Structure 1
């Protein structure tokens, strides 16, 4: 009996190792630290973490079904700040239409992309991918980023479907033919396709600005966090494997985060954080006086927000 039990444990350990290697192999990694120069903001003195989260609108590979659009842009950009102790977090959205100074940074083929002033924020991803976007955010906020993660259209849609959809309440109907979206008001469970349309829509809400879209993106993320918290995903090994398999196959990360072990460790560290302890913010911006339909950071308010993230301190009050 003892031998049989030991044999079973060895088989399970072997199968577990194979699954681990399979999921590890799904992740695409980029050597962000190796590509960037040493001229970066200082590393965080505490155990807090700053993670750049990007949603890519690239139509490469499986994303071709979402339309024939050349190049790629960061449709969604958020700095996720995980406080020391992992009891609270802040998520700061950066509008893609924000005008920034992009620093010199390496391109995809290790060529050098020259610096540029007053260019749209998402041009950093279009020109230099994950590495150049990290460099641009670090310059914008004088904030060291510990990790970076990009997820594409196809991966986002599959991930939501693997979770069984996401339950969300809309205060008004949303219709946007560009995003293939026709949702009634009220509480409903979104499929992956509907969720993707929701976080992409600019024509179905408000005045069609990126700020209105960011509000929807943050609303969706709140709903997603609540659902993961309610369903106890980490206690369901079969479902967790499906979710991890879907998630890892759609991710591009920095090299340090590009393993199931690193992702698992990061996820496990958040077990004590309730969704209500996540503070969603948007980089304070105003309309550009020189360029219509573009935004510029509100310097004093933006500096205060970045300072709070650097120091792992309380965020400034909202709506001042």
Structure 2
């Protein structure tokens, strides 16, 4: 309100009801101007900062858990130490393209990978899908994947499991080694000595160094197909196979993981019932999976990407050169230029074995010529 001083000049006094006080700043407590607003703003910023920090910590923890989970899924076998130096020579390393933006250039040399499909891990899931137990390890699928230098084209060579081969002496996990066996079934190598003996038998048969091996079990394959949203394949004839529990009319079908696995295992329901008919179906599946992966925008869906990565690694056994998420990721990135259109699938040329019409032997010299072409890079 207004008053007068001793000289008759008007003065203003605080009225105790929110008016300006004798400090002249509009605050009854005498605090500096704007302090309340700054305090509120500072508190809000601290809250936002703490929230962001908490989110960041949780994000880092989650990312760390995901990496650990995927990395821990992979089982490694030290093939190099087990087999020593008495093996075919490695492919010659080619220089990386100049001017690459990558701090660590991706590998570009030719690479050979032995891919095995097996039921060796056992467990309830594998038994439900038709797999065996841990004491009855089998490898019904064997493919030598040769990726050419530059890694934009590849050849997949399927080896019939009924092929009679000379199985070399293989080291055993329990110590000692197996005897050399002439005229042994190819898939007996895995059953007898696991991945190490399978790799050594393939190298003995082909004189091609296997830079890596990858083994996928039944459950892992089915989960991968499901994580990708299924796979589309076309069959030229009706399939009725009681053993694999698959009934499929000729034509194009979109299969879930269980049915895709049944197709990969079908033998008696197609062709003459031999392993050669099954190999044709497996090669069709390989190309279809590549096409499905290429058409699935995994990077746009972190959830799907994680499901696919978890499925891939959960059923995986590799050599120790690929048994970490970082090493698998590097291999995958080096193969980004590889498409189904640049993938050639062939089967090892074979003839009926004179000793047993239910077995086959390599058809020479065609078989040797095929392996020689892979050694050329």
Instruction: Name the counterpart of 2:261.
Output: 196
Instruction: Name the counterpart of 2:170.
Output: 105
- How far residue 16 of structure 1 moved from its aligned partner, in angstroms, is 1.5
Instruction: Name the counterpart of 2:216.
Output: 151
Do 2:237 and 2:250's aligned partners in 1 also have CA atoms closer than 8 Å?
Answer: yes
- How far residue 6 of structure 1 moved from its aligned partner, in angstroms, is 6.6
Instruction: Name the counterpart of 2:337.
Output: 272
Paired with 2:127 and 2:236, the residues of 1 have a C-alpha distance of 32
Instruction: Find out whether 1:72 has 2:137 as its counterpart.
Output: yes
> Could you say which structure has the greater relative contact order, defined with CA pairs below 8 angstroms and 6 or more residues apart?
1
| Number of aligned residues | 312
- The correspondence for 1:135, drawn from 189, 194, 200, is 200
- How far residue 233 of structure 1 moved from its aligned partner, in angstroms, is 2.6
Paired with 1:91 and 1:131, the residues of 2 have a C-alpha distance of 20
Q: Which consecutive residues of structure 1, in runs of 5 or more, have no partner in the other structure? A: 313-320
Instruction: Find out whether 1:216 has 2:281 as its counterpart.
Output: yes
- The correspondence for 2:117, drawn from 55, 71, 94, is 55
- How far residue 300 of structure 1 moved from its aligned partner, in angstroms, is 1.1
Paired with 2:147 and 2:273, the residues of 1 have a C-alpha distance of 31
Paired with 1:309 and 1:121, the residues of 2 have a C-alpha distance of 20
The two structures have a TM-score, normalised by structure 1, of 0.92
Paired with 1:10 and 1:82, the residues of 2 have a C-alpha distance of 41
- The correspondence for 1:90, drawn from 130, 151, 155, is 155
Paired with 1:146 and 1:67, the residues of 2 have a C-alpha distance of 28
Report the secondary structure of 2:317's partner residue: strand
Residue pairs, 1:4-43, within 5 angstroms:
8-9=55-56, 11-43=58-90
- How far residue 171 of structure 1 moved from its aligned partner, in angstroms, is 2.0
**Which segment drifts farther, 137-146 or 12-21?**
12-21
Q: Report the aligned-residue RMSD.
A: 1.8
Paired with 2:70 and 2:335, the residues of 1 have a C-alpha distance of 21
- How far residue 64 of structure 1 moved from its aligned partner, in angstroms, is 2.3
Report the secondary structure of 2:358's partner residue: coil
Deviations 1:85-116 (A, max 9, x none): 11101100000000111111112323311111
Instruction: Name the counterpart of 2:310.
Output: 245
Higher helix share: 1
Paired with 2:337 and 2:307, the residues of 1 have a C-alpha distance of 23
Deviations 1:168-191 (A, max 9, x none): 122222111111001122211111
Distance 1:59 1:42, change over 3 A: closer
Deviations 1:182-224 (A, max 9, x none): 1122211111111111111111100001111100110111111
Paired with 1:174 and 1:129, the residues of 2 have a C-alpha distance of 32
Report the secondary structure of 1:53's partner residue: strand
Q: Which consecutive residues of structure 2, in runs of 5 or more, have no partner in the other structure? A: 1-44, 94-108
Deviations 1:135-185 (A, max 9, x none): 000010001011011111111112211211111122222111111001122
Instruction: Find out whether 1:289 has 2:354 as its counterpart.
Output: yes
Runs of 4+ in structure 1 off by over 3 angstroms are 1-11, 67-70
Higher-Rg structure is 2
Distance 1:67 1:252, change over 3 A: closer
Do 2:122 and 2:131's aligned partners in 1 also have CA atoms closer than 8 Å?
Answer: no
- How far residue 17 of structure 1 moved from its aligned partner, in angstroms, is 2.1
